[in-house]
Amino acid sequence: MSSPLDQIQAPIAVEMQEFEKKFRQSMQSNVLLLDKIMSYIVKRKGKQMRPMFVFFMAKLIQEQIPDATYRGAALIELLHTATLVHDDVVDDSNYRRGFFSVNALWKNKIAVLVGDYLLSKGLLLSLNNDDFGLLKIVSNAVREMSEGELLQMEKARRLDITEEVYFDIIRQKTASLIASCCAVGVSSVGADVETVERARLFGEKVGLAFQIKDDLFDYGTAEIGKPVGIDIKEKKMTLPLIYALQQADWLTKRRVIYNVKNNNGKADRINAVIDFVKKSGGLEYSIHCMNNLHADALQLLHTFPASASRDSLEQLIRYTIEREK
């Protein structure tokens, strides 16, 4: 049975198949160990939403996809995969999308070197083909992702994240990558500066909505691949909790923050925080913000001419806020 993403992907199915081949080629190495690890990484690929955004955005401008678009999509996947491999080392994580992480199977030292290798492959793919504009877009996204991660770490120590800081963090950590996919898509087919910026802003709105949806999963019961309350357990301040704390009196706020800081994985403390957020309207407020971002993204998308790709993008951004995992 095909998934909703398979159905959405149908108009670019040929391009995605071609991309698979080109991406595998871009990861090849003469070192046997590296080849083995690259093969493992390719096999455990996720939903592939990033290349989908690249190809759909390119097709908004022209139907025929040039080699530059495939290289742009591969560049994003290479650099993003490098950051994920390094993230798993930083987080000391043994799993990624239900599979063992690279560091779990081959240890930290090899995982760091693999991340470096992927990063250099991406850089060389662009430099060897003079794709300087695409490289600039994606490099900016990687810089923003790193800054967002460090900003979150800095604020997490004090649990003093405001709504404004939260949006700064998720714009950098999550939205910047989807924004770069959209910008790369239109840039790869020769779009002008104004169009590239419009595409980037569209992707940013989608990315923000996507992350809020992810944060809402922490309070639900759907089968989502992570336990409910994991963000609270890890002391991550997300929008539902931030809003709920803004509405609370000083004493309640102090009690809730104490439970977050000292939860030690205890279910009763985590559940107390979840109940507080639900009763304080944190979920409703977050859904309202997510729907507003979705509406903004649609408005930006409709500045592009009507086409099958635009219809598919509408379905894709609806999927990001209606998905169950």
What are 83-129's pLDDT values in tens digits?
Answer: 887 777 776 676 666 666 777 767 777 788 878 888 888 899 899 99
List the chain domain ranges: 4-322
Long-range own/partner contacts, residues 112-118 (CB < 8 A, 24 or more apart): 112/85, 112/86, 114/34, 114/37, 114/85, 115/82, 115/83, 115/85, 115/86, 115/89, 116/82, 117/29, 117/34, 118/27, 118/78, 118/79, 118/81, 118/82, 118/85
Q: What's residue 51's pLDDT?
A: 92
Q: Write the CB contacts of 154 (distance below 8 Å, at least 6 apart in sequence).
A: none
Domain 4-322 adopts which CATH fold?
Answer: Farnesyl Diphosphate Synthase (1.10.600)
Q: CA-based angle 258:262:264, to the nearest 5?
A: 150
DSSP code of residue 305: P
CB-neighbour burial class of residue 81 (10 A; exposed 0-12, middle 13-18, buried 19+): buried
Name 99's bridge partners. Answer: 96
**pTM for the whole structure:** 0.89
Q: What's residue 83's pLDDT?
A: 82
For residues 242 and 259, the model is more confident at 242
Percentage above 90 pLDDT, the chain: 42
Percentage above 70 pLDDT, the chain: 91
**CA–CA separation, 242 vs 262, rounded Å?**
17
Helices (H), the chain: 4-9, 13-26, 32-43, 49-61, 67-90, 102-127, 132-156, 163-170, 176-187, 193-216, 230-233, 239-247, 250-261, 267-279, 282-301, 308-322
